[in-house]
């Protein structure tokens, strides 16, 4: 009986640890701090950007949903617009090195140049630590953090769950709306929405 009880307790503990590892960041709570390296090997942390609004954008160039927003130029346009307004935009790739979608820093740098990426930094997360910290499930999966480090928005980039570039023009962009609300000193009207896209290749 004691042995069985210990096995049950161990199973519950393991489940709790697994749940904690995938516990999504919570709206209205401090966003989890992290450290990750960019393509040049420089380390970035969320804490260093305290005092600025921060966007976290999960990325995988092999995903058709990511391609929708990059081939159209939509994501780069948003990156450029909001970084010019003082927002820090961090693009994060949590693809496992064993995945067919994994890119070396050199390959990723070439793609970024080809697509005219305009984010503040492109961060590598090959062990998936940052992605799991936020509960990032898809590419793209978007998060907006306020100047005090509190999570304002988490979810899909917009309300059109498709790979059709024509849908971008008629979509409601939740990230744009959240940033515009925040920058104007207003409450974020929509703080969460279903994320859509390809699964993150942990």
Kindly give the pairing relationship between strand 35-38 and strand 43-45.
antiparallel
Q: Say which residue the tokens 């070439």 belong to.
A: 110
How many whole angstroms separate alpha carbon 121 and alpha carbon 177?
Answer: 22
How do residues 38-65 score in pLDDT, each as one tens digit?
999 999 999 999 999 999 999 999 999 9
Average pLDDT, the chain: 91
CA count, 13 A, side-chain hemisphere, 13: 6
Q: Tell me what the mean pLDDT of segment 93-117 comes to.
A: 98
Residue 165: name the closest of 48, 64, 86 by CA. 64
pLDDT tens-digit series, residues 171-186: 999 999 999 999 999 9
CA distances from 105 to 40, 69, 163 (A): 8, 21, 26
Q: Residue 182: what pLDDT?
A: 98
Q: pLDDT of 2-42, one tens digit each?
A: 443 333 333 333 333 333 344 579 999 999 999 999 999 99
Per CATH, is 25-199 categorized as 3.60.150.10? Answer: no
Confidence (pTM):
0.88
Please say whether the beta carbons of 36 and 44 come within 8 A.
yes
Residue 156 near residue 195, CB atoms below 8 Å: yes
Every domain of the chain and the residues it spans: 25-199
Report pLDDT digits (tens) over 125-138: 999 999 999 999 99
């Amino acid at each position: 009986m004691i042995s069985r009880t210990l096995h049950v307790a161990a199973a519950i503990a393991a489940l709790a640890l697994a749940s904690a590892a995938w516990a999504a960041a919570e709206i209205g709570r401090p966003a989890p701090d992290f450290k990750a390296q960019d393509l040049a090997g420089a380390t970035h942390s969320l804490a260093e950007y305290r005092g600025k609004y921060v966007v976290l954008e999960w990325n995988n160039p092999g995903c058709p949903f990511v391609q929708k927003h990059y081939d159209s130029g939509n994501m780069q346009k948003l990156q450029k617009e909001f970084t010019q307004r003082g927002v820090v935009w961090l693009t994060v790739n949590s693809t496992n090195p064993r995945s067919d979608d994994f890119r070396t820093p050199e390959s990723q740098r070439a793609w970024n140049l080809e697509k005219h990426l305009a984010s503040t930094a492109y961060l590598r997360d090959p062990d998936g630590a940052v992605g799991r910290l936020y509960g990032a499930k898809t590419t793209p999966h978007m998060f907006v953090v306020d100047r005090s480090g509190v999570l304002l928005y988490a979810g899909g980039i917009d309300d059109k769950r498709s790979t059709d570039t024509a849908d971008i023009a008629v979509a409601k962009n939740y990230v744009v709306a959240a940033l515009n609300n925040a920058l104007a000193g207003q409450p974020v009207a929509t703080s969460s929405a279903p994320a859509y896209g390809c699964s993150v290749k942990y």
